[in-house]
Amino acid sequence: MTETFRLTLAQLNPTVGAIDANAEQVRDAHAEAKAAGADMIVFPELFLIGYQPQDLVMKPVLVNTAMAKAEELAALTVDGPAIGLGAPYFYGDALYNGYWILAEGRVKQVLRKHHLPNYKVFDEKRLFASGPIEGPYAIGPLRIGSPICEDAWYEDVAEAQVESGAEILIVPNGSPYYRNKFNTRLTHMVSRVVENDVPLVYLNMVGGQDDQVFDGGSFVLNRHGKPAHILPAFAEELRHVDFVKEDGKWVAEAGEITHQPDEWEQDYRAMVESLRDYLGKTGFKKVVLGLSGGIDSAIVATIATDALGAENVHCVMLPSEYTSQGSLDDAKDIANRLGCRYDFVPISQGRDAITDTLAPIFGDLPFDTTEENIQSRLRGLLLMALSNKFGSMLLTTGNKSEVAVGYCTIYGDMNGGYNPIKDLYKTRVFEQCRWRNANHRDWMKGPEGEVIPVTIIDKPPSAELRPDQRDDDSLPPYEVLDAILEGLVDREESVADLVEAGFDRATVKRVEHLLYISEYKRFQSAPGTRLTPRAFWLDRRYPIASRWRDPS
């Protein structure tokens, strides 16, 4: 008789700290797995408390509550499938990132994560103790090894588990998105499969948590690294995977291989999902934003509409005498195309009042960036008033290029609770708009078609804070600026490296200077979707007060 084993993968979306709600997801998914005849259901890393918990996991009451809940969930397995569940584990005098194996109505084993990531957005070494390399566990006819996330990026844990008798590897993950990461994961997991000659299950969670987005894309590999299943990116799914024993070895039967979207679709989906979850998990239902007629606010309005629906997006045009007729027309046009509420709130009277108030002190000093920033801060004040009055979260709309060099006004256009394009360089903003105009997916709540007017995409960028102002009056052209920033920020290159690559040294030094003196602004800025391994916040932690400048 052929031996078989049905495994259910729970690619789901937990909420940090919502232990009861996350446990309810476990119960519901377990019931579905039981109805499907599964032998075991597995959940991602730290699923019971959500990931990443950061310092929240240092609270003993949270850990104790989670451990008690995990023990309670073990009762589900008396007459149903076993459960693999990520949850913290306090043992002896140390806290571990644990993976709980619940079977036969009890806690059968708790695996402890061995390799603790301490780079990019991760700092698990300050939160958890490193556990020993754990052996496999038996569920029915199958012996299973479970390297926990980072453990599978190294050879030793998987090798030790297979040498101890593991016949397949199940890897629970909390792996956040960055552009083109799926292929990186796949390459590492293929290495574990080839080295150990066993099938491997890579299970990732989905959903947004602050700046990070977990993009799913779970997969099952057979020997030689051949995919048997690939789950969708960003979407929740329960996938039943059947293993059969052939010639003494377990093999995953072939299932659906879901196409993974290209980087433009994945970036856009990440921004939509992160905004949707950020609002949902913080208790907001609606957003408000300033709609300037420019490309950055246009794409943020579109992302918000796709995330929340047009009925939950409030767009406000706040013109001054420097606002062009083209911008007025474009702002109203995109609001109409998206179907959002649109309000027109001129700032002239408020600015005149502020100018008159400051006149005795300013005297006859010339107009400069002070007056430009007053306009921006007045807009920020009005938008925050609308946010407060109507309970809508204010979205900020600065792209990564502007955030990098401080081409944004603190307490002005930087006001807001979230910024979905914070990690999107300006040159990519243009291309992302073109992508959205040409593509529509069923996960988008906004309308299909050309929702962003081409006039917005094609016109020269301008803050419109003085007559005939253009961004390239103050900054290098964005294709030059972004290329320099990619070198300085994303690749940590030196000035000499960039000069050797063909950039003007004076321009590079100016950009470097602007980057460093703007650190204080970024420190106070709203969180935003992480799209790259060098996003501003946890990926790149620079001092605010620093006199370092590259001497090369």
Given the residues 45, 150, 167, 273, the one annotated as active site: 45
Position 256, amino acid = E
Query: Residue 460's pLDDT band (boundaries 50, 70, 90)?
Result: confident
Q: Known binder of ligand: residue 290?
A: yes
Tell whether 488 is in a known binding site: no
336 is in an annotated binding site: no
pLDDT, position 465: 64
Using the predicted structure, report yes or no on whether residue 466 has a pLDDT greater than 70. no
Is there a catalytic annotation at residue 340?
Answer: no
Q: Is 96 annotated as a binding residue?
A: no
Q: How far is CA 280 from CA 209, 217, 274, 277, 492, in A?
A: 10, 22, 10, 5, 35
The number of C-alpha atoms within 13 Å of 319 and in the hemisphere containing its C-beta is 15
pLDDT of 209:
96
Residue 388 pLDDT > 70: yes
Task: Please state the rounded mean pLDDT for residues 530-540.
Answer: 94
- Whether the model pTM is above 0.85: yes
293 is in an annotated binding site: yes
> Per-residue pLDDT averaged across 388-407, rounded?
96
Spot the catalytic one: 69, 113, 281, 426.
113
Amino acid 384: pLDDT: 97
Q: Pick the catalytic residue: 69, 124, 134, 149?
A: 149
Q: What is the pLDDT of residue 250?
A: 95
Annotated ligand binding at 291? The verdict is yes
Q: What is the dihedral of CA 19, 20, 26, 28, to 10 degrees?
A: -160
Spatial separation of the C-alpha atoms in residues 477 and 479, rounded to whole Å: 6
Quick check: 260 and 233 in contact, CB under 8 A?
yes
Which region holds residue 413: left if phi is over 0, alpha if psi is between -120 and 50, else beta? alpha
445 catalytic per annotation: no
> pLDDT value at position 139?
96
Is 402 a known ligand-binding residue? yes
Torsion angles phi and psi, residue 50, rounded to 5: 85, 160
Q: Do residues 508 and 486 make contact, with C-beta atoms less than 8 angstroms apart?
A: no
**What CATH number was assigned to the domain covering residues 284-523?**
3.40.50.620
Give the span between the Cα atoms of 539 and 542, in whole angstroms.
10
**pLDDT (tens digit, 9 = 90+) per residue, 171-197?**
999 999 999 999 999 999 999 999 999
- pLDDT (0 to 100) of residue 463: 66
Mean model confidence pLDDT for the chain:
95
Any binding-site annotation on 292?
A: yes
- The residue-averaged pLDDT of 377-402 equals 96
Closest CA to 2 of 254, 249, 256, 255: 249
More confident call, 107 vs 459: 107
The residue extents of the domains of the chain are 4-260, 284-523
CATH for the stretch 4-260: 3.60.110.10
**What is the pLDDT at residue 469?**
67
Q: Label residue 435 exposed, middle or buried (CB < 10 Å: 0-12, 13-18, 19+).
A: middle
> Is 113 considered catalytic here?
yes
397 labelled as ligand-binding? yes
Residue 271 pLDDT: 98
Task: Report the percentage of the chain scoring pLDDT > 90.
Answer: 92
Read off the pLDDT of each residue in 222-238 and give the average, rounded to a whole number.
96
